[in-house]
Structure 1
């Protein structure tokens, strides 16, 4: 999993934690965005592709004060990994 270092988080109005500049660069698929919506501390998670010829995804995450975007992101990746391992085992029967 290749990713750029995340910028420091800052607290915005209403206790919403956002990333500085509001994005994190990713070179992986957007599946983690779907996993993030399952986290009760995630208020908003979305992604966009800046240019169709570049394999780069910008991910934006807003969380409650109970979590940080980095924590939510890591947890989403871990949950997705567990789900994929479960599916792999199910097909190996």
Structure 2
């Protein structure tokens, strides 16, 4: 009987340096690229809790990013979680605004209804 292959987690924490220091962490995000890396870095760098934040892609053929966070005292995992939540809210706002604008355009330009596909 063969065992099913182990699924790789979407998020891993790499221990670098002292294990007790929760303010510095490197996270590996699998199946992600610059889209999430740069957006999340931008959101986190706006936080007063963040001292340093950056990401790298180890190799162009790999679909993962290494994401480093150093904070001013808060645990890096909490800061990452808040950053992901803030990014999600921002994306939801952009989507809602886009859908509202499309609806307004369709209502004000009925002659273009065939040209504008439903979203």
Question: Does the alignment reach a TM-score above 0.5?
Answer: yes
Cα RMSD for the two superposed structures: 1.9
Give 2:55's aligned residue. Answer: 47
Which residue number corresponds to residue 46 of structure 2?
38
Name 2:27's counterpart in structure 1.
24
Gaps of 5+ in 1: none
Shift of the 5–51 alpha-carbon distance from structure 1 to 2, 3 Å rule, reads closer
Superposition TM-score, scaled by structure 2 size: 0.63
Shift of 1:18: 1.0
**Structure number, greater radius of gyration:** 2
Structure 2: gaps spanning 5 or more residues = 1-8, 101-119
Higher relative contact order (CA 8 A, sep 6+): 1
Size of the aligned set, in residue pairs, is 84
